[in-house]
Amino acid sequence: MHAEKPPFWHIGVIGGSGLAGGIGLEDAQEIAVASAFGEPSGLVTMGRIGTVRFTFLPRHGAGHTVPPHAINYRANIDVLKRCGVSDVLAICAVGSLREELAPGSFVAADQFIDRTTAREGSFFDSGVVAHVSLADPVCPRLSALTVEAIRAAGGTIQESGCYLAMEGPQFSTRAESRMYRGWGADVIGMTGMPEARLAREAELPYALLGMVTDYDAWRDDEAGVAVSDILAVMQANVAKVRESLRALAEALPEHRDPSPIDRALEGAVVTPPAAFDRDMLSRLDAVGARLQPED
């Protein structure tokens, strides 16, 4: 294997609802990047915050036109890999399954329960087979830095939590919401999976910053989830998220030490190179750059 990452930070940010206007990059340039896995959610914006390179991708596209179940998660991660990002920070709205996680607060999710069923969840298929480890799906280094950045911006954040990924686009029934609480989930959302799975296959350290917008439907004495309430909380927190990204940029070490996730495919690919399907390998030219044969 080859194509090691350079020793500098380039943070890819996948912005969810409320961040369609971007993250306030300096020297910003909006470009279209083609993917071997279809159409991504939209154009990427490349720029910097201070001295750190950032690339921003709106998860739901311009004008929020792509619903959670129709997002091309593979194309989005593939595009970020093609842009040369070193790490990925996903920002998304989540519903709370715990009384102590109040709307307006944040959570750095570090575990997932995946209830999605109709999404492409892997870059690998017949011809090149791989099984990456996902026991610890989030990069602890990036997640810890994100927690400190939110606190520096004046936000309240829980340092860990279990994210229940549901298919959507409808919200949970009360029975489902109570069941998820019993499973040990702390927050619920519609976009964390298969995004985290794909980032790991692409050897991209991934962290998820959940913006708590509401209590899910488990509270019997309250009305169900309403989009208007979610949007109001998100708009109130957008400035705090942007401020936290600047704090993150300032806190990053000058040099990026390698992460074990940078080499997640080592030992994960079970197909011998001589048996690789050439068409499949060509689609993996970005996410599986280190699988490509030497020139």
Q: Parallel, antiparallel, or unpaired for β 162-165 and 157-158?
A: unpaired
What secondary structure, in 3-state letters, does 26-39 show?
Answer: EEEEEECCCECCEC
Report the alpha-carbon distance of residue 137 to residue 199 in Å, rounded.
9
Residues 6+ apart with CB under 8 A from 271: 127, 128, 129, 130
Which residue among 78, 114, 216, 262 is the active-site one? 216
Look up 87 and say whether it is catalytic: no
Look up 216 and say whether it is catalytic: yes
Sign of the dihedral through C-alpha 283, 288, 294, 295: positive
Which residue among 78, 110, 186, 214 is the active-site one? 214
Burial, 154: exposed, middle or buried (Cβ in 10 Å; 0-12, 13-18, 19+)?
exposed
Report the alpha-carbon distance of residue 188 to residue 200 in Å, rounded.
21
Q: Which residues are catalytic?
A: 214, 216
